[in-house]
Chain A
Amino acid sequence: MAAMFDHLLHNYEEAAAIALLSIGFCMLLFDRNLLKKVIGLDIMDSGVFLLLADRGFIAGGKAPIMAEAAAEAGRYVNPIPAGLVLTGIVVSVSVSALMLALTVRVYQTYRTLDVDHLYMLMSHRRKGGRA
């Protein structure tokens, strides 16, 4: 157990990434505001990206900009996670734009962003709330 804790202290970046993921997950499940849910998903994304980029980091390595052609391995950090995260960041912004557009449409129809309130209004509609 102590060894495990020691390991965790050494992997502090990964621990932070997982903390971010959990915070985003809690926001997604606990927060009743749809907009906060979108932000929570973005934070979850960031946690995943941070974990990925941490895995590619090599202590003492430089950024993978090869100034001279004769490159030796281990002197540069791993470029693969950086490439993956680069595409991921842009995908995450398009996903959040799509979700925000949906949020605006939900607000246009129901005039509220509170999930519980929304659920109530929708159940009224289902039961023939057209009074």
Chain B
Amino acid sequence: MANSDSAFRRWLRGEVDLSAELRTAEMPVPPEEARYHPRHHTAMIHMIFRQSHRFYVALVAVLCVVLFTVLLLAAANLPAYGDSEAPTNNEVTERYVNRGVEETGAVNAVAGLILDYRAFDTLGESFVLFTALCAVTILMSRGRRKHPLPMETDYADYYADPIVHTMCKVIIPVILVFGVYVLVNGHLSPGGGFSGGAILSSALIIYAMVWGDERAHGTIRERAIRRTAALALGFYVVSKTYSFYTGANGLHSVISPGVPGRIFSAGLILPLNVAVGLVVCCTMYSFYMFFRRGEL
């Protein structure tokens, strides 16, 4: 009771009108120049950036030097380069090299490795490609975008150039044949699905570059690309499921390694190579088309 004229009690007695105080406390409308305008602070932010940038550069330089030194020390302590006794060349390698041909039927040990022993890994890798394609489709498709980036229109017209045009007529079939060769000989010679698919897609990309997007869009249908990629992935999944199922349960499998060295040998490796190659080809070509025109 002693502190009878505290603000609270005065307010209780009704002597103070707080709403009046609120009204006076209201901020006056600042003039146009004094309002917050982000662009006017650019100079200040630049200054802060310059100061913090110096600190950042010093820190990162130290980090890079430390990383480089540590990794070099690690490299110096690795087993000697080309040493056949190094721990990386262990019994797994020995098994793959010694019994790979007999077990997988593939003359190319790398193809046997990635499409037979470790086919599950390659399946995941194909799905990585497919997921990247989906993400690029979402990010780059130009449908119902509010402010599409204006594309540059003055592309060089390769079709009008007689040298480029004629040479491409000759060279595209050669590239396609080479790509198919690399693809279907993956188990006999260097190459396989990944490289063959990339070579095929490069032929398609040259075609789209020279003959123009519209013509390529007409020739290589969007639906065909999607169906091919999905079918190839589905075929991979189904055939490898069969192979894993029979292998794990000791059942008789209709897939046999065949005679190593023949084109129709190595069991599932040839069809799987073709499937992977088709997925890679479709993905790379779709990347090109999406980056070029925003749709397939």
Main DSSP-derived SS at the B contact region = helix
Q: Is the CB of B80 within 8 A of A11?
A: yes
Closest chain A residue, CB of each to CB of B72: A18
Q: Digit string of B113-124 for contact with A (CB within 8 Å is 1, else 0)? A: 110001001100
A63 to B67 alpha-carbon distance, docked (Å):
33
Q: Is the CB of B140 within 8 A of A8?
A: no
Would A66 and B100 be within 8 Å (CB), given that A58-B84, A87-B122 are in contact?
yes
Which residues of B are in contact with A by a Cβ distance under 8 Å?
A: 36-39, 42, 45-46, 49, 53, 57, 60, 63-64, 67-68, 71-73, 75-78, 80-84, 86, 88-89, 92-94, 96-98, 100-102, 107-110, 113-114, 118, 121-122, 125, 128-129, 132-133, 135-136, 139-140, 147-149, 188-190, 192, 194, 198, 260, 280, 283-284, 287, 290-291
CB distance from A60 to the nearest CB of B (A): 8
Q: Is the CB of B287 within 8 A of A58?
A: no
A38 to B37 alpha-carbon distance, docked (Å):
34
Closest chain A residue, CB of each to CB of B53: A116
Q: Is the CB of B128 within 8 A of A91?
A: yes
Main DSSP-derived SS at the A contact region = helix
Q: Add 11 more A-B contacts to A87-B122, A89-B194 (CB < 8 A).
A: A57-B82, A58-B82, A58-B84, A65-B189, A73-B93, A74-B89, A78-B93, A79-B96, A98-B139, A101-B140, A108-B149
Q: Is the CB of A98 within 8 A of B107?
A: no
Selected from B81, B96, B100, the residue in CB contact (under 8 A) with A13 is B81
Contacts of B72 in A (CB 8 A): 8, 15, 18
Q: Is the CB of B80 within 8 A of A64?
A: no
Closest chain B residue, CB of each to CB of A125: B38
How many A-B contacts if CB must be within 8 Å? 186
Which residues of chain A in 76-115 are interfacial with respect to chain B, using CB atoms and an 8 Å cutoff?
Answer: 76, 78-83, 86-87, 89-91, 93-95, 97-98, 100-102, 104-105, 107-108
Q: Is the CB of B110 within 8 A of A64?
A: yes
Which residues of A are in contact with B by a Cβ distance under 8 Å?
A: 4-5, 7-8, 10-15, 17-19, 21-22, 25-26, 29-30, 54-61, 63-67, 69, 71-74, 76, 78-83, 86-87, 89-91, 93-95, 97-98, 100-102, 104-105, 107-108, 116, 119-120, 123-124, 127-129, 131
A29 to B260 alpha-carbon distance, docked (Å):
50
Can you show 17 pairs from A to B with CB atoms below 8 A apart? A7-B77, A18-B75, A26-B64, A29-B64, A55-B88, A60-B82, A64-B97, A71-B98, A78-B93, A79-B110, A83-B113, A83-B118, A87-B122, A101-B291, A104-B291, A108-B147, A131-B38
Q: Is the CB of B107 within 8 A of A97?
A: no
Selected from B71, B75, B97, the residue in CB contact (under 8 A) with A76 is B97
Contacts of A19 in B (CB 8 A): 68
CB distance from B279 to the nearest CB of A (A): 10
Q: Is the CB of A123 within 8 A of B45?
A: yes
CB distance from A57 to the nearest CB of B (A): 5
Contacts of A90 in B (CB 8 A): 125, 129, 194, 198, 280
Contacts of A76 in B (CB 8 A): 97, 109
Closest chain A residue, CB of each to CB of B59: A29
Q: Is the CB of A54 within 8 A of B135?
A: no
A114 to B213 alpha-carbon distance, docked (Å):
31
Q: Is the CB of A97 within 8 A of B98?
A: no
A119 to B89 alpha-carbon distance, docked (Å):
48
Q: Is the CB of B89 within 8 A of A59?
A: no
Closest chain A residue, CB of each to CB of B50: A116
Closest chain A residue, CB of each to CB of B71: A18
Q: Is the CB of B194 within 8 A of A116?
A: no
Q: Is the CB of A65 within 8 A of B82?
A: no
CB distance from B99 to the nearest CB of A (A): 9
A128 to B167 alpha-carbon distance, docked (Å):
56
Selected from B38, B76, B283, the residue in CB contact (under 8 A) with A11 is B76
